[in-house]
Amino acid sequence: MSPLQTWIAGARPRTLPAAVSPVLVGTALIRRDHHSINYLNALLALLVSLLLQIAVNFANDYSDGIRGTDNVRVGPIRLVASGLASAKAVKSAAFICFALAGVSGIVLAARVSWWLVLVGAVSIIAAWTYTGGKHPYGYAGFGEISVFIFFGVVATAGSYLVQSHSITWKSLVVSIPIGALSCSLLAINNLRDLPKDAVVGKKTLAVRLGDSRARMGLIALLLSAHLFSLIAAFITPWTLITLILLPLTLQIVSKIRAGAAGAELIPLLGKVGKLQLFLSISLAVALVL
């Protein structure tokens, strides 16, 4: 593996649909509400979302690596724990991505509202303290709540806000399926790592719930994404086209119910990422129609 391939793998590209999806759906809703799409603001929102996602991936790699909680890992490679990159280099990569996200956010705030600087600052703090700092909240079981808020509600409604200068009930409704699937990506990771996390004292929500209830929670998140996509039929009945993805969801649910664990969950992580991307595309198409 070349150095470039190593860093790309460390950025965890399978998680990037969680950054693209909210901007796509929020922008599609702009068209639905007969506003003009502000392509520059949409691009800046996408840059902020992508850079924050990559930054938090590198930050988690660094923080978990120096704590030793990734020394025995089943999932995708971690740069620090595997020795493929130094902790200093990974930390620098995270800070560079945070800085670039901050610059993009400041430009966006200058074009929309300086209140966005505060939102961006809180987002960066939340991203770093997920596994970083003395009391990382991801180690206390609050990771899913943060992901739902920042990669669901804030990113989706925020993408709508920066182009329409308002937040509506519609933008909040369509943010829920996006947030639910972003949570599903984290939940499936935590389910995979549950045995190891329990040993090292990393009390994720999966560890706190236990294997059986963690599986039920993950299934509930997956199905709620479809439920709220259907509730969005109050915006337009075209959202019913998201039902074409139900077979993929049920396939994932079946594997989870059957007790897939450890390495068996890695392919499901990719499928959940695809589900989020496909559902956001179909939801965006429905909103435009």
C-alpha to C-alpha distance for 20 and 18, rounded to whole angstroms: 6
When the pLDDT of each residue in the chain is averaged and rounded to a whole number, the result is 91
Question: Alpha carbon of 264 to those of 15, 191, 192, 216, 276: distances in Å?
Answer: 18, 11, 8, 17, 20
C-alpha to C-alpha distance for 282 and 93, rounded to whole angstroms: 34
CATH number at residue 207: 1.10.600
Do residues 63 and 71 make contact, with C-beta atoms less than 8 angstroms apart? no
pLDDT band at 31 (very low <50, low <70, confident <90, very high): confident
Q: What is the DSSP letter of 73?
A: -
Judged by average pLDDT, the poorest of 11-15, 50-54, 135-139, 253-257 is 11-15
- pTM across the whole model: 0.91
Do residues 287 and 26 make contact, with C-beta atoms less than 8 angstroms apart? no
Task: Render pLDDT for 90-146 as a digit per residue (tens, 0 to 9).
Answer: 999 999 999 999 999 999 999 999 999 999 999 999 999 998 888 899 889 999 999
pLDDT for res 144: 93
Residue 73 has pLDDT above 70, yes or no: no
pLDDT for res 142: 93
Do residues 214 and 190 make contact, with C-beta atoms less than 8 angstroms apart? yes
How is residue 35 written in tokens? Answer: 């506003």
Task: Render pLDDT for 174-208 as a digit per residue (tens, 0 to 9).
Answer: 999 999 999 999 999 999 989 888 888 889 999 99
Task: Find the angle CA(188)-CA(191)-CA(197) to the nearest 5 degrees.
Answer: 130
Question: For the CA atoms of the chain, what is the radius of gyration?
Answer: 18
Do residues 143 and 150 make contact, with C-beta atoms less than 8 angstroms apart? no
Report which of 280, 273, 289, 194 is spatially closest to residue 235, judged by C-alpha positions: 289
Range of the domain at 40: 3-288
C-alpha to C-alpha distance for 43 and 4, rounded to whole angstroms: 25
Number of domains in the chain: 1
Q: What is the DSSP letter of 85?
A: S
Instruction: Determine the number of helices (DSSP H) and then strands (DSSP E) in the chain.
Output: 14, 0
